[in-house]
Structure 1
Amino acid sequence: MVNLHWEETPSVWTASLDGIPVCTLKPKDIGGCIASWLDGRLWAPPAHLPKAMPQPTRFFADLQEAKAAVEQILQ
């Protein structure tokens, strides 16, 4: 089991894995949030764009969806 810890600042959530920051979640003014990997990982392309290149950032509709996606990948 991984040791994942979320730390919140006023404008950013940071996921740390065994004390090392691996991902940030930044809420957007328009709604949703952007998840950015800090350790070189890439998000797989969305299902509706299978030929797209993997990216270091990805948009999520809300914070809970983004947190769940990060936790799923890190398990």
Structure 2
Amino acid sequence: MANITWKEAPATWTALLDDVPVCTLKCKDIGGCAASWLDGRLWAPPSHMPKAAPQPTRFFTGVEEAKTAVEATLNS
């Protein structure tokens, strides 16, 4: 189990893995949240676009969904 903590700033959260920043979540005014890896990781393409290239940023409908996805990725 990875030691993941979250540092919060206005509309931004940073995932820290053993106190090293690995992912930033930025919430949008219109809703939703973009999760961007800081350590070279890539998000898998969405299931509805299986031929798409992996990307460093992925959009989520909310911050809790994004945090859950980040933690699941870091714990796998």
Please give the range of the TM-score, normalised by the shorter of the 2 chains.
over 0.9
SS at match of 1:14: strand
Q: What's the CA shift for 1:6?
A: 0.3
Alpha-carbon distance in structure 1 between the residues aligned to 2:24 and 2:2: 17
Query: TM (normalized to structure 2)?
Result: 0.96
Matched, 1:13 2:13: yes
Q: What's the CA shift for 1:2?
A: 0.9
SS at match of 2:42: coil
Query: TM (normalized to structure 1)?
Result: 0.98
Q: How many residues align?
A: 75
Superposition pairs for residues 1-75 of structure 1, below 5 Å? 1-75=1-75
Q: Percent identity?
A: 69
The RMSD of aligned alpha carbons is 0.5
- Deviating beyond 4 angstroms after TM superposition, the runs of 4 or more aligned structure 1 residues are none
Q: What's the CA shift for 1:11?
A: 2.3
Gaps of 5+ in 2: none
